[in-house]
Amino acid sequence: MLTWYKKIKRFVYRTIHSSPEVQPTVLTVPFDALVMVLIFASVVIVFAVTFNLPPDVMGILKKAETGIVAVFTVEYVLRLWTADLHYPEKGWFFARIRYVFSMSAIVDLLAILPSYLPYLLPEGMLGIRALRLIRLTRIFKVTQHSATLSAITAVIKDKAKDLLAVLFFMSLMVLFLSLLMYAAEHDAQPDKFENAISALWWAIETFTKSGTRGFYPITTLGRIIGAIVSVLGICLIAIPTGIISSGLIEQIKNRNRGRGREKGRCGDLGNRENETGDDFN
- 18-73 residue pLDDT tens: 766 778 899 988 998 898 888 888 888 878 887 888 989 999 998 998 999 899 99
Confidence of residue 89 (pLDDT cuts 50, 70, 90): confident
Confidence of residue 276 (pLDDT cuts 50, 70, 90): very low
* CA–CA separation, 40 and 139 (whole Å): 7
Same domain, 210 and 274: yes
Same domain, 181 and 139: no
Q: Which residue has the higher pLDDT, 143 or 47?
A: 47
The percent of residues in the chain predicted with pLDDT above 90, rounded, is 15
The domain boundary, picked from 116, 145, 174, lies at 145
Write out the residue range of the structural domain in which residue 172 sits: 147-281
The domain boundary, picked from 108, 128, 145, lies at 145
Instruction: Give the CATH number of the domain where residue 179 resides.
Output: 1.10.287.70
Output the pTM of the full model.
Answer: 0.61
Nearest-CA neighbor of 119 among 158, 83, 66? 66
Same domain, 130 and 195: no
Burial (0-12, 13-18, 19+ Cβ within 10 Å), 72: buried
Helices (H) and strands (E) in the chain, counts: 12, 0
Same domain, 46 and 139: yes
**Total domain count for the chain?**
2
Using an 8 Å Cβ cutoff, are 75 and 181 in contact?
no
> What confidence score (pLDDT) does residue 98 get?
92
Which residues lie below 8 Å from residue 3, measured CB to CB, with a gap of 6+?
A: 278
Same domain, 52 and 172: no
> What confidence score (pLDDT) does residue 153 get?
72
Nearest-CA neighbor of 81 among 62, 63, 99? 99
Instruction: Give the CATH number of the domain where residue 76 resides.
Output: 1.20.120
Same domain, 165 and 280: yes
Confidence of residue 280 (pLDDT cuts 50, 70, 90): very low
Question: For 3-17, 121-135, 190-204, which range has the lowest pLDDT when averaged over its residues?
Answer: 121-135
Same domain, 170 and 51: no
The percent of residues in the chain predicted with pLDDT above 70, rounded, is 74
Using an 8 Å Cβ cutoff, are 25 and 281 in contact?
yes
Confidence of residue 9 (pLDDT cuts 50, 70, 90): very high
Asked if residue 16 belongs to a domain, the reply is no
Using an 8 Å Cβ cutoff, are 88 and 94 in contact?
no
* CA–CA separation, 179 and 67 (whole Å): 56
> What confidence score (pLDDT) does residue 123 get?
52
Same domain, 159 and 140: no
Rounded to 5°, the CA angle 112-114-117 comes to: 110
